[in-house]
A and B are shown apart, each in its own frame.
Chain A
Amino acid sequence: GNSVTQMEGPVTLSEEAFLTINCTYTATGYPSLFWYVQYPGEGLQLLLKATKADDKGSNKGFEATYRKETTSFHLEKGSVQVSDSAVYFCALTGSGSARQLTFGSGTQLTVLP
């Protein structure tokens, strides 16, 4: 079945540091890949997505590239801010009509001023 393996946290960075959160996946067919963010006390929000190999998703300074050869979708940001502190989830949808999401375990990011 489908699975997502995500870098364990927590991750603590200083403001303006470079961020990488690793994500690798196992899936049959051609999944779409997602990063979701969960701010304290809020629901998950879609951060970015990529639907085919070599696509790059980007939003709010975050980027992730769909690498089929390494089955990876690592999240990066060049300069993090305190407001980026949240839990980040890597996820995928498999093929089929239900398009159900399979999530990674989540990575807690704390950015210190």
Chain B
Amino acid sequence: GAVVSQHPSWVICKSGTSVKIECRSLDFQATTMFWYRQFPKQSLMLMATSNEGSKATYEQGVEKDKFLINHASLTLSTLTVTSAHPEDSSFYICSASPLRADGETQYFGPGTRLLVL
């Protein structure tokens, strides 16, 4: 089946540093990748939608200069949390939509837990 990986699976960093999270589709090409944020005991909130080779589309209230998204190839998207602060601590999840899917199919990565001290 379609597999999406995320790296790292967890990261602890100091306030003010930047953290990069990678999302890879391992056995398929993805036209579109999505980035979500999940708070404890809450649902997934869509942060942004990225299409290969173009700028990401951010949801209302998500700072694009804070959360930099790069979708450089059909198998890789990265999310960089710049100048991280404790309130950025969360569980970040990506998903990927295959190139020739029905437009609704998304395969999810296992998530990256970020803790900012």
A residues sitting closer than 8 Å to B (CB atoms) are 4, 32, 36, 41-46, 49, 51, 89, 93, 97-106
Contacts and interface: CB of A to CB of B under 8 A. Distances in A.
B44 A89 contact: yes
A36 B111 CA distance: 15
B43 A101 contact: no
Contacts of B67: none
B83 interface: no
Contacts of B105: 46
Contact of A43 (B32, B34, B110): B110
A43 B46 contact: no
Contact of A89 (B43, B46, B57, B109): B43
B59 to A, nearest CB: 9
Contacts, number: 50
B111 A43 contact: yes
A103 B45 CA distance: 8
B34 A100 contact: yes
Given A43-B93, A44-B93, A93-B104, A100 B46 contact: yes
B104 A99 contact: yes
A45 to B, nearest CB: 7
B49 interface: yes
What 5 pairs across the A-B complex have the smallest Cβ distances? A43-B108, A44-B108, A43-B110, A103-B43, A105-B43
Nearest to A102: B46
B90 interface: no
Given A98-B57, A99-B103, A45 B43 contact: no
A98 B105 CA distance: 11
